[in-house]
Chains A and B, each alone.
Chain A
Amino acid sequence: AQKVTQAQTEISVVEKEDVTLDCVYETRDTTYYLFWYKQPPSGELVFLIRRNSFDEQNEISGRYSWNFQKSTSSFNFTITASQVVDSAVYFCALSEAQPGGYQKVTFGIGTKLQVIP
């Protein structure tokens, strides 16, 4: 069974601080995908990044960076120089192939990030 753990339920930082959101996953599959989504107060989940299980290269996109470590089953997300607009709930998610090739995504509980001006 697949499982995603986000141990930090709420984090508060002051604007311009760096913050790291942790994600630990469990899966029996060797092939899977990991995602991060952002959910602002409007409710819509917005896709941020996708990483497959064979690609452990870290990725940087502007102020965002992701660290994938298969050895520790972790896929952590860092925001550098946080801004008030980063305030949202962030979800880590795991996708495994299902019979027939369909998709079933398991989400973590989410980390609510508050950036204080």
Chain B
Amino acid sequence: DAGVTQSPTHLIKTRGQQVTLRCSPKSGHDTVSWYQQALGQGPQFIFQYYEEEERQRGNFPDRFSGHQFPNYSSELNVNALLLGDSALYLCASSLVRSSYNSPLHFGNGTRLTVT
């Protein structure tokens, strides 16, 4: 039973560049959420996708966008990278029908460094 997989594991980008991170949810899950975890901080909610649409969004600028594909996998795109975007980006999957009582299943994350 495959868990949540994310790629790449590490990424180094320059300010102003654009980046795409990828996530495959746990088998059987239909909902993907993205979180940003800065060093020494807790994960911060970016957005959540279900049925290929963004359903909820946290306090992140429009430079952060996403997509969900018919196979439930998802991408996170960040444009015009800033130094402050350096963080661990975590993908989490769940089942929408379990609603808000469902534990999130996380991937190992993508460590993004912006120089």
Contacts and interface: CB of A to CB of B under 8 A. Distances in A.
Interface of A: 4, 6, 9, 32-33, 35, 37, 42-47, 50, 52, 91, 95-98, 100-110
| Interface size of B as a range | 20 to 34
Contacts of A101: 96, 99-100
Interface string B34-52: 0100001111110010100
Q: Which 4 A-B pairs have the closest CB atoms?
A: A107-B42, A47-B103, A45-B106, A103-B100
Nearest to A32: B100
B43 A45 contact: yes
25 contacts: A4-B42, A9-B40, A33-B101, A43-B88, A43-B90, A43-B111, A44-B106, A44-B108, A45-B43, A46-B106, A47-B105, A52-B101, A91-B42, A95-B100, A96-B100, A97-B99, A102-B55, A102-B100, A103-B48, A103-B100, A105-B104, A106-B45, A107-B35, A108-B42, A109-B41
Contacts, number: 81
Contacts of A97: 99-100
B102 A103 contact: yes
